[in-house]
Amino acid sequence: MTGNEYCALYKKSRDRAYDALFENYCDYVYAIVYNKLRSVASREDMEECVSDIFANIFFSYDTDSSFAGDMKGYVLTVAKRRAISAFRSLTARSSHYSEDTEDELINFVSDTDIEHDSDASETRSILISKINELGEPDSTIILQKYYYDRSSSEIAEQLSMKASTVRMRAARALDKLKITLAAAGITL
């Protein structure tokens, strides 16, 4: 969701704007909060933090701004800052909190990076949808060539085409794909 889309929706209906904001970024924000608070917070505390983040975004975003880019960066910044604030608040209330505890938690490394996994999943989803938008046979050629690592002659046999035609269509489809992905904010 871009800033312009959100502002236009906000001017039409504040409720629909809030719903769209929540629908687009709920999983992303929850992943950030979970990653920051999993060692000190209960599920209810995390859900409260997520609610606070969306309230903060909804009430503090300047709908009169001329920002037209993706709101993901803004949402990320608000979510991280609020989650860190919640972490400090929760650990300060803890009876066995000390400076050493915070240092230990900062150095705590998990095998799973939920933020990265969420970003990668979103990127894959966008990539697949943009490949499908290319239409047939270009989408099949791109998937077979780059996902299944098939040669042009194997793809040509499967699609009843010449190998040279497959190579040409793949090059053109890849150029189109780069342009549509760049418009979506993804670079190859």
83-97 b/e (C-beta count within 10 Å ≥ 16 → b):
beebbeebbeeeeee
User: Please, what CATH class does the domain formed by 3-110 belong to?
Assistant: mainly alpha
Read off the pTM: 0.47
The residue extents of the domains of the chain are: 3-110, 117-183
User: Please, what CATH class does the domain formed by 117-183 belong to?
Assistant: mainly alpha
Q: Give the pLDDT score at 64.
A: 62
pLDDT tens string, the chain, 188 residues long: the values are 676 777 777 788 878 878 887 888 888 888 888 888 888 888 888 888 888 888 887 777 766 665 566 777 788 888 888 888 888 888 876 655 455 555 555 555 555 566 666 667 777 777 888 888 888 888 888 888 877 788 888 888 888 889 888 889 888 988 888 888 888 777 76
Domains 3-110 and 117-183 alike in fold: no
Q: H helices within the chain, ranges in order?
A: 3-12, 14-37, 43-60, 72-93, 99-107, 114-133, 138-142, 152-159, 163-183
Q: Exposed, middle or buried by CB within 10 Å (0-12, 13-18, 19+), for 69?
A: exposed
